[in-house]
Structure 1
Amino acid sequence: MSGEPAVERAKRLKYDPYLQVKKRIEMLESEGHPTDKIELRVVGGTWSFYPQKYQAWFVKRCFDACNNGHAMSFKTSHVQNEKARYRIVGLSVETRPDFITPSEIKRLRKLGVTMVELGVQSIYDDILKKNLRGHGVKETISATKLLKDAGFKVLYQMMPNLYGSSSARDLKMFKTLFTDSRFQPDLLKIYPCALLKSAPLFHVWRKGGYRPYAEKQLISLVRAIKKTVPYYVRIQRIARDIPSKSIAAGPAKISNLRQLVGGHCKCIRCREVKGNYDPKEKLYLFRQNYQASSGQEIFLSFENKNRSKLYSLLRFRITSQNTAIIREIHTYGQLQPIAQDQDVGGFASNISPQHKGLGKKLIAEAEKISRREFKVKKIAVISGVGARRYYRKLEYKLEKTYMVKNLG
């Protein structure tokens, strides 16, 4: 909505995807950030609702911007990006659970999407109905399974303080996310309900039918929620960048909610090594198995002994059809440029764990587990277009939209 930083940047550039990407890269470079590995996030409501031709044009123009050119076809823009200066290693979109179907999954993969943010909001049908969401819990359950079986990372946007809910019920909802195998998102955004003056809920509030949480109540709730989050989940954000002048009342006006909540939890974001890297610190390989959407999820990570520092992670899935797919691999620490003309593992750095072969070791472990424990003959990776060359060096080959390796 108007006022949010990304929206204001887009408005200034007349929503031109090519210019938005180019200007964002220029801004990051001017601030001294490496820009050769790009995780591109497309925001703006229900992506799947837009006309398909517009979606293809929009994404192609994003690739063109990273390729510094104007490709004749969508496929060519992907091929060019594999060797481009600015490589798109991840691409995410937002959509509603009821828009996710097998055909939509195929289209998203053709675009190069690797992560989907689902506007789940609640896992209670009565709350969804009361807030006019237009979908139910069964659509969330179905979408989650379809996406995970296809290898996508799945992010849930959840909304405490919805009309008809309570703080006790909200806390129970978040606990259920990680105890009920039908849900189990990989990432989480906690967006407290914002009482906008332009929304129908505003009129309900004025008549006394809705009451936003008090500031202390919301902070206490989010602290309790953070305690429920397991090691394999990342809390991406707490609160949205909605201008406070657009919010009529309630704690959604708080712009620094994460800071007020404070404290560290077990989530990935709280444990990422960031700049706190010690090359002499001993690393340990951790493994966690859990059931999710009728499949087996396996989370591998390199961490320090007490798990307070997370260096690298890999999550992969054994589906109900006994196929193996790597859904995410990420090494944290200070961002290092792509090691040009180097073998996998790249150059050594004393300031970051990146390019030290941690990802390669996790991939080898995932391959070994798939082959020995599940007797799988092939393993696939939902690779970002710009990361395909990395997997080719590990003997993976492009099959349709996935990188695939025979395990023998």
Structure 2
Amino acid sequence: MEKTLQNILGEIRRTNAPLAPDALDRIIRARNREVAGPVRYVAKKKLLPFYQEVKEHRSERWRTWGVSPAEEALLVRTLQVKPRRTASGVATVTVLTKPWPCSSACLYCPNDVRMPKSYLHDEPACQRAERNWFDPYLQVTARLRTLHQMGHVTDKVELIVLGGTWSDYPEAYQIWYMHELFRALNDMSCETTVERESETRRTQYRDAGIACERDDLANWAAEAQAHVTAGDASYNETVRSLYACGTRADNALLHSRSTDRNAASIDAPPCSAAADDTQGAAFEPFALDNLQGSASDSGWAAAARWQTATFSQLEALQRENESAEHRCVGLVVETRPDVVTPKRLATLRRLGCTKLQMGIQSLDERILAANHRGIGVDRMQQAFELARIFGFKTHAHFMTNLLGATPESDAADYRRMVEHPAFKPDEIKLYPCALVDGTELVAHWRDGSWRPYTEQELVNLLAEDMLVTPPFTRISRMIRDISAHDIMTGNKKVNLRQLVDLELSKRPQSVQEIRSREIAFGAAANDELSLSEIAYETTNTREVFLQWVAPGNRIAGFLRLSMPNADYVGAHAADLPIDAGEAMIREVHVYGRVAGLHQGGENAQHRGLGRMLIERACDIARENGYTAINVISAIGTRGYYRKQGFADNGLYQQRSL
């Protein structure tokens, strides 16, 4: 390893530049040929962790290498793994909440009792969560250490909290979960603290008897799947009802079907020490962790008693994170539009949330009904209006190929979402429906009432969707991380977006959506950038999308300015955290390779682009008669906005105009 690193450093010193992939590969292959044996001795992914380990724990040896800061930066660039992970300007960390019942029963949704509703245990983020007992502290610290070993800057972190419907969890658990996310970020400055705290937490779970819980659930899930595959419809319905809205009696049935160690009927354990009566009676999959004992001995019930925190404790950690080495610059939660209310949005702001992922799936009432969605378009519109007026970024989940849809109806449905003033989301996950065994959609596939689109139908549809997506919207993903072996039929290609891009390259129209235009690893001088402004109307605001555009229509940064309609604010004044005459900055984002805090960026970051966007947004709001402007700042960006003239003001930061 050391010899290989010396060879790489020698080439870097000669060229004064990071090595191209082929040049690095030549050095690694040459070193492997020098080492006898059938196994490859050196691999790229091992080199940077080895370098970091020597530097951090064998400093005298590292000093003999004579690596200057400039050379180290080039070395990290050369050895970085999966550079796209931080190409959007932040390090994204995805975490999952613990399995929990869902009040919906959508036709296509998987029911893996080991995971939160709709997730499968072999999805990458799910595997990481399961290995860490779904604990937020353990998930964040483990992921950040991995990203660091891969060569990524991790001091600006966007936290994405997945797990079905966030608001369905007890509030005490919600506060504790966020408390642990911020504690993890704050502790990352000291590896010793992280190791000590992580081992303490792991010991807590083991002492509660949860160490082998995953094996028990895996056995039960396998048994349940066998019944479903055999066509046992009644068993499938039992599984669905247990997961969706189980009762005390249901839990006894689950217990008896989960193990040969049949026991007497048991009551479901409380889902949380602070759960209300409804939540306490609901079935919680984690009751299975201690199948030989009584519900009162349940390890997860015991864990729930210490999985609590107060808002004052959370807010203390948030204040600490404002100046921490690893700061939260965005916090996303996943929810359903039918549970979006002013009260819940206010709570989300106190928790530190800045973006909402909402499961829309379709705006066709006929399709929604056929797929048992249980949410109407009117309720979805209310959710978007509330999210916008509260300043949240809106991230819609949209699905093609649902039961009853055709490529033509899907195209019209998508166009409605991106063009209708009630919606116009900021970001979209555009998924094809995947057929997963155990879902009710399987019966429709077998009787011929549903079929997956062919690859060409799907690619053409997604290409059309891309072309009608406006320049203020970002399509973040086109496929779920569902393993191919879990998909019974239909698209199993993980490079679906690449296929869509290939199709688009054959068409004369240009794509305007954000992700396709991100500057990523490119660079553009400030004098090459032009400021473009795109204004559009929604049902309750006037929006202005300000973007820095580089040659080739690449986007280097943007700001979302929202100017609420006075009539809407007046009609809903009792429920809103803003007053008439207040505009809102809903997002500021500068692209390019992540630049460390207080460091100059080699691409677009830390060159004053964000500050100039803010000043222009203030001018526009002032010109339109607004007297103040709010910003929905993340915890880790509060200090930045104070420098731009904003003062803390309740759920937001505000600047007088």
Structure 2 length normalisation: TM-score? Answer: 0.59
> 2:177 is matched with which residue?
58
Q: Report whether the alignment pairs 1:337 with 2:611.
A: no
Which AA in structure 1 matches 2:317? S
Q: Report whether the alignment pairs 1:178 with 2:415.
A: no
What is the 5 A alignment of 1:319-334?
319-321=564-566, 322-334=581-593
Q: Which of 488, 496, 499 is matched with 1:257 structurally?
A: 496
Structure 1 length normalisation: TM-score? Answer: 0.95
Q: Report whether the alignment pairs 1:362 with 2:597.
A: no
- Choose 1 or 2 for highest CA Rg: 2
> 1:295 is matched with which residue?
541
| Deviation by residue 1:112-167 (Cα, 9 ceiling, x = unmatched) | 00000110000011111110111111111000000000000001100000000110
Q: Report whether the alignment pairs 1:314 with 2:559.
A: yes
Which AA in structure 2 matches 1:332? Y
How large is the Cα RMSD of the aligned pairs?
A: 1.4
Q: How many residues align?
A: 396
Shift of 1:366: 0.4
Which AA in structure 2 matches 1:114? T
Q: Report whether the alignment pairs 1:24 with 2:143.
A: yes
Shift of 1:232: 0.5
Greater strand proportion: 1
Shift of 1:305: 4.9
CA contact (8 A) 1:188 1:236 kept: yes
CA contact (8 A) 1:144 1:293 kept: no
Structure 2: distance between partners of 1:104 and 1:55: 12
Partner secondary structure for residue 159 of structure 1: strand
Q: Which runs of 5+ in 2 are unaligned?
A: 1-119, 188-192, 198-308, 505-509, 567-580
- Identity, in percent, stands at 38
Q: Report whether the alignment pairs 1:375 with 2:625.
A: yes
Structure 2: distance between partners of 1:11 and 1:219: 33
Q: Report whether the alignment pairs 1:125 with 2:365.
A: yes
Shift of 1:310: 0.6
> 2:155 is matched with which residue?
36
Q: Report whether the alignment pairs 1:285 with 2:404.
A: no
> 1:274 is matched with which residue?
520
Which AA in structure 2 matches 1:334? R
Partner secondary structure for residue 314 of structure 1: strand
Which segment is superposed worse, 234-243 or 263-272?
Answer: 263-272
Shift of 1:178: 2.4
> 1:343 is matched with which residue?
none
Structure 1: distance between partners of 2:417 and 2:468: 9
Partner secondary structure for residue 178 of structure 1: helix
Structure 1: distance between partners of 2:375 and 2:554: 39
Greater helix proportion: 2
Q: Which of 361, 384, 405 is matched with 2:634 structurally?
A: 384
What is the 5 A alignment of 1:232-247?
232-247=472-487
Shift of 1:244: 1.1
Q: Which of 386, 389, 398 is matched with 2:648 structurally?
A: 398
Shift of 1:41: 0.1
Shift of 1:3: 1.2
Which AA in structure 2 matches 1:380? N
Q: Report whether the alignment pairs 1:87 with 2:327.
A: yes
Shift of 1:391: 0.4
> 1:208 is matched with which residue?
448
Structure 2: distance between partners of 1:273 and 1:96: 32
Structure 1 runs (4+) deviating above 6 angstroms are: 69-72
Partner secondary structure for residue 528 of structure 2: coil
| Deviation by residue 1:195-230 (Cα, 9 ceiling, x = unmatched) | 111100011211212111111110111011100011
Which AA in structure 2 matches 1:212? P
